[in-house]
């Protein structure tokens, strides 16, 4: 029998060919005209998993089907669930693509196609690592489940519905997600922290219609004035949030983490140049990277009211609104923040204004302890696959499913993205490095072995 790594080398060309086949299916989840392609992609993934001998089911949901697969039971070994998605973003604007988005094309060691890095290429690394195990060792060292959904780009409603009704089928000790990027070319990473979020919409209503600001100004409370005042009271000039109790439950950064983040050598000036600003102001006592990844924030995401056209119009607007959100860090409770924010805003709302506050999202932050055996196992597997130990990073965004699995099963998540920062996940000319594809398969194959050594409590 060949070794797993030998098997992977021998079959590398076929893996690439099958990835191309998968990428040719334009499984755009947001576009109803691609509904047939969505089904084809779900069946394609299901068929791959079924061929490996996994108990596989393509499950209809309220919108797009889920692909579920489960390996034979391995007593005493942890249960690992691989989460990914077969749906893709639209390819538009199509004319910015150098090669057709659904005709995978090799250039400079990369494969260009919509879905290459997000997430078809990364999903298949875990499928082929399982194939290699079964073809060479005739067994898997852990209990493996696959959950590959078709609505990741459009809100995952079907998945949440399924989770509510059939949580037990997804029970696991550890969730593995490869749907992101490494820290830099040649530098793989494990993302061990995510921020949470609470997102609000605030609508302030004053007079029943727009009023002439000359005839009425001074005698009527202006909802746009009130909005600016209320929003600016939520935060100080350096971004320190003023909602009472907001920081009470924040887990502070450990000195180990701060050292590790500092060691990443984040170049702030380069970052400013990239986003096109000359500088920034932020919370005192924290570096730019700490503020992005590990500190809570307040951002107005949208604001509107009154006359926004050309020139001037002298009105007191009848209404003004803002959408705003707090990014949360562990262990802040979205519900507690929600209540405190609402209470503060009610206190700030002036006479003559009625306010309506709607909460759109609430997801807690997530932190996998750096000394977790899962993180340690993933570190060794990645070092094997990529020839370099990963760095440990956090991400400022939120992935609701990670919080959900943590809450439902107490499962830690391994966020091990094989892509690159410049893969263009939602833009034109999306790509995935073929070298990273194969390194990812090798790391994944080693991951199952490393995870099998973890003793279940």
Cβ proximity of 116 and 104 under 8 Å: yes
Q: How far is the CB of 394 from its own copies (least distance, A)?
A: 11
Residue with Cβ nearer its own copies (74 or 228): 228
406 token code pair: 């943590």
Closest distance between its own copies and the C-beta of residue 202, in Å?
11
Q: Least distance in Å: CB of 217 to its own copies?
A: 4
Measured CA distances, 393 to 119, 189, 195, 253, 404 (Å):
20, 7, 12, 13, 21
Q: Residues 174, 81: contact at Cβ < 8 Å?
A: yes
**Of 13 and 275, which CB lies nearer to its own copies in the complex structure?**
275
Tell the burial category of 402 from Cβ atoms under 10 Å away from its Cβ (0-12, 13-18, 19+).
Answer: buried
Q: Residue 322, SS3?
A: strand
- Residue among 114 and 327 whose Cβ is closer to its own copies: 327
445 Cβ contact list (under 8 Å, min separation 6)? 4, 5, 8, 129, 132, 133, 385
Query: Residues 6 or more apart from 32 whose CB is under 8 A from it?
Result: none
Q: Which is nearer to its own copies, 57 or 201 (CB)?
A: 201
Distances 42 to 27, 36, 56, 76, 148 between C-alpha atoms, Å: 9, 10, 11, 31, 8
Q: How far is the CB of 144 from its own copies (least distance, A)?
A: 30
In whole angstroms, the minimum distance from the beta carbon of 230 to its own copies comes to 8
Decide: 192 and 260 in contact? Cβ < 8 Å.
no
* Residue 413, preceding peptide bond in cis (omega within 30° of 0): no
Query: DSSP code of 34?
Result: G
Name the minimum Å distance from CB 105 to its own copies.
Answer: 26
Q: Which of 16, 37, 70, 87 is catalytic?
A: 87
* CA separation for the pair 177, 180 (Å, rounded): 8
d(CA 416, CA 189): 7
Q: Write the CB contacts of 391 (distance below 8 Å, at least 6 apart in sequence).
A: 183, 187, 188, 189, 190, 260, 263, 264
* Cβ proximity to its own copies, 91 vs 353, nearer residue: 353
> What is the smallest separation between the CB atom of 453 and its own copies, expressed in angstroms?
34
Look up 210 and say whether it is catalytic: no
Q: 32 or 279: whose CB is closer to its own copies?
A: 279
Please answer whether residues 425 and 117 qualify as being in contact, where contact means their C-beta atoms are separated by less than 8 angstroms. Answer: yes
Residue with tokens 């779900």: 42
Taking the complex as a whole, how short is the minimal distance between the CB of residue 132 and its own copies, in angstroms?
Answer: 34
CB 445 within 8 A of CB 8: yes
Instruction: Please answer whether residues 123 and 178 qualify as being in contact, where contact means their C-beta atoms are separated by less than 8 angstroms.
Output: yes
Q: Cα(20)–Cα(16) distance, rounded to whole angstroms? A: 6
**Which residue shows structure tokens 């986003």?**
275
CB closer to its own copies, 168 vs 278: 278
- For residues 58 and 320, which CB has a smaller minimum distance to its own copies in the complex? 320
To its own copies, the closest distance from the beta carbon of 282 in angstroms equals 6
CA-to-CA dists, residue 272 to 77, 277, 301, 398, 426, angstroms: 47, 5, 20, 23, 22
Rounded Cα distance, 393 and 192, in Å:
6
- Show Cβ contacts of residue 331 under 8 Å, excluding neighbours closer than 6 positions: 249, 250, 251, 364, 365
> Of 124 and 393, which has the nearer Cβ to its own copies?
393
Catalytic member of 152, 395, 436, 450 = 152
Is 87 among the residues known to form the active site?
yes
Active-site residue list? 87, 152
């Amino acid at each position: 029998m060949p070794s797993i790594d030998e098997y992977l080398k021998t079959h590398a060309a076929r893996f690439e060919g099958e990835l191309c086949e998968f990428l040719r299916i334009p499984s755009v989840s947001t576009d109803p005209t691609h509904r047939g392609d969505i089904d084809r992609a779900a069946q394609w993934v299901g068929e791959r998993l079924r061929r490996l001998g996994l108990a596989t089911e393509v499950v209809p949901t309220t919108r797009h089907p889920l692909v579920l697969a489960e390996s034979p039971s391995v007593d005493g070994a942890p249960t690992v669930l691989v989460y990914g998605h077969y749906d893709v973003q639209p390819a538009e604007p199509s004319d910015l693509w150098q090669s057709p988005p659904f005709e995978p094309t090799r250039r400079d060691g990369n494969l260009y196609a919509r879905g290459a890095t997000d997430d078809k290429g990364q999903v298949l690394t875990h499928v082929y690592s399982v194939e290699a195990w079964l073809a060479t060792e005739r067994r898997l060292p852990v209990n493996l489940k696959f959950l590959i959904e078709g609505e990741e780009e459009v809100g995952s409603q079907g998945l949440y519905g399924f989770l509510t009704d059939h949580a037990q089928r997804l029970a696991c000790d550890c969730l593995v997600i490869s749907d992101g990027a490494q820290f830099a070319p040649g530098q793989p990473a494990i993302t061990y922290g995510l921020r949470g979020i609470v997102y609000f919409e605030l609508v302030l209503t004053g007079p029943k219609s727009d009023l002439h600001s000359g005839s009425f100004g001074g005698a009527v409370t202006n909802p746009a004035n009130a909005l600016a005042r209320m929003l600016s009271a939520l935060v100080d000039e350096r971004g320190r949030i003023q909602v009472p109790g907001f920081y009470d439950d924040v887990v502070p950064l450990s000195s180990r983490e701060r050292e590790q983040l500092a060691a990443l050598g984040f170049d702030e000036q380069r970052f400013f140049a990239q986003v096109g600003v000359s500088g920034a102001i932020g919370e005192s006592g924290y570096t730019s990277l700490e503020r992005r990844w590990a500190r809570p924030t307040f951002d107005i995401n949208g604001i509107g009211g009154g006359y926004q056209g050309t020139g001037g119009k002298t009105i007191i607007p009848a209404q003004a609104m803002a959408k705003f959100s707090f990014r949360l860090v562990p262990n802040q409770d979205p519900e507690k923040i929600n209540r405190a924010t609402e209470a503060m805003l009610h206190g700030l709302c002036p006479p003559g204004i009625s306010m309506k506050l709607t909460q759109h999202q609430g997801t807690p932050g997530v932190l996998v302890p750096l000394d977790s055996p899962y993180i340690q196992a993933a570190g060794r597997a990645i070092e094997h696959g990529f020839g370099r130990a990963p760095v440990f990073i956090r991400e400022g965004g939120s992935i609701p499913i990670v919080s959900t699995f943590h809450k439902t099963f107490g499962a830690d998540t391994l966020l091990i993205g094989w892509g690159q920062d410049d893969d263009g996940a939602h833009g034109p000319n999306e790509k995935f490095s073929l070298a990273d594809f194969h390194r990812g398969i090798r790391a994944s194959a080693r991951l199952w072995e490393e995870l099998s050594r973890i003793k279940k409590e």
